[in-house]
């Protein structure tokens, strides 16, 4: 399987919203509602932020939301805060493929 496609970087000012895309194919992102998103701070393990396209695990702020259209999934972070600065990865279906990661910078 090929890696999912994410933009290498994204940025926004505090309080703004930013959206990160994750593009796959009809065999992964488009074919199943199992897209998940992970946040990773430097030197730390990844943390689950969104699962099954748009669901949030307990404890994840509702500033984080997910959606999907066709073969592209999206993670939106609203009301950006300094602590949101991190790398974000998408994953699809059974988790055997990840996106290349997006570095989110809070300006």
Partner 1 sequence: EVQLVESGGGLVQPGGSLRLSCAASGFTFSSYWMHWVRQAPGKGLVWVSRINSDGSSTSYADSVKGRFTISRDNAKNTLYLQMNSLRAEDTAVYYCARRGGVGATPNAFDIWGQGTMVTVSS
Positions in the binding site for partner 1 (CB under 8 A): 3, 34, 36, 38, 40, 45-48, 51-52, 55, 57, 87, 89, 91, 94-101
The DSSP line for 20-70 is: EEEE--TTTTTT-S--EEEEE-TTS--EEEEBTTTB--TTS-TTEEEEEET
Nearer to partner 1, 76 or 97 (CB): 97
Give the CA count within 13 Å in the CB-facing half-sphere of 45.
2
Nearer to partner 1, 44 or 79 (CB): 44
Say which residue the tokens 């059974």 belong to.
94
Nearer to partner 1, 10 or 48 (CB): 48
* Minimum distance from residue 48 beta carbon to partner 1 (Å): 5
Q: Do residues 66 and 41 make contact, with C-beta atoms less than 8 angstroms apart?
A: no
Say which residue the tokens 């990773």 belong to.
40
* Minimum distance from residue 52 beta carbon to partner 1 (Å): 6
* Minimum distance from residue 32 beta carbon to partner 1 (Å): 10
Nearer to partner 1, 8 or 13 (CB): 8
């Amino acid at each position: 399987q090929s890696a999912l496609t994410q933009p290498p970087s994204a940025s926004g000012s505090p309080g703004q919203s930013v959206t990160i895309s994750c593009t796959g194919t009809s065999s992964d992102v488009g074919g199943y509602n199992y897209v998940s998103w992970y946040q990773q701070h430097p030197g730390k393990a990844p943390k689950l932020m969104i699962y099954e396209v748009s669901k949030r695990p307990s404890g994840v702020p509702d500033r984080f939301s997910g959606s999907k259209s066709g073969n592209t999934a999206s993670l939106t972070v609203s009301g950006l805060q300094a602590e949101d600065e991190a790398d974000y990865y998408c994953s699809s279906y059974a988790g055997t493929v990840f996106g290349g990661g997006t570095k989110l910078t809070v300006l």
